[in-house]
Amino acid sequence: MHAGGRSDTLDQATKDFLSARPRLFGIAYRVLGSAVEAEDVMQETWLRWQNTDRTKVLEPAAFLTTVATRLAINLAQSARVRRESYVGPWLPEPVDTTEDPQLGAERAEALEMAVLLLLEKLNPVERTAYVLREAFDYPYGRVSEILETSEANARQLVSRARRHLAAERRERVTPAAHRRLLEVFLSAARTGDLSVLEDVLTADVVSYSDGGGIRGASKIPVIGRPHVSRYLVAFAPRFWPQADIRWVEANGLPAVLISAGGNAVALLSVDISTEGIDRLMWVMNPAKLAPYVASLRD
């Protein structure tokens, strides 16, 4: 089918791709939990777009979205195998959202670190269905086309993902309340104040440290208020005195970048409900930290 006289030049192809790119990256990042892998998807999508007979493409944005989404699903399936051999807990690669608070989406769903971590427990198709519907507001008919499934099945995939998240997350707090409780936690963690830590952590809190086997991070999650609070108190004298603190934004929420000797050593993100801090997420893997730090504005 001809695209109604569209001039099929490389300049036009470039404009079409760049126009769609924020959304394409936003989809790929949420599906993969990795900005590096999302960039790989962008590169492959661009190559395929160059090699496509674009005179037959009526809607470039729709075509590019389908290509990028399916590439992301394929990469997520292979990444799942790789992550089974990942050393220690795996956390999503953080992104700076100060320039694009919703990262190409119409809504900010499925962007927070905790949500990406929970979505990782779903299979890539379920995760993608949720992302397309909840973050980008695609109608179920379009979701089913992209995923090459029935509309009824698309609805089931999204419903399954919603139930999973609802079972794992309590009612959230406002960004302002999030920042205030993170400040209280940070002060208590730095001074080793056990009573305050026990007050702000939920009973079933989990602390994840993603070092990727490179840094001396805990290789297993620390679970439960008594264990997490004592763990934080124990390493406070060794960790915090040499640390410099910078407040940043990661994945749409306040976070803390921790440096020592001028080098970033950890990014602390937290998941906070009306009951307190549910999850502590320490990104310490240099391969994940470096791109994030490089993206920050001075």
Q: CA-based angle 8:14:16, to the nearest 5?
A: 80
pLDDT of residue 298: 66
* Sheet containing 263-273, strands listed edge to edge, beginning at the edge strand earlier in sequence: 222-223, 201-210, 276-283, 263-273, 253-260, 244-250
Provide the CA 102 distance to its chain's centre, in angstroms: 12
Q: What confidence score (pLDDT) does residue 217 get? A: 76
- Name the strand (E) or helix (H) holding 116: helix 113-119
The residues of the chain scoring below 50 in pLDDT are 1-6
280: enclosing H helix or E strand: strand 276-283
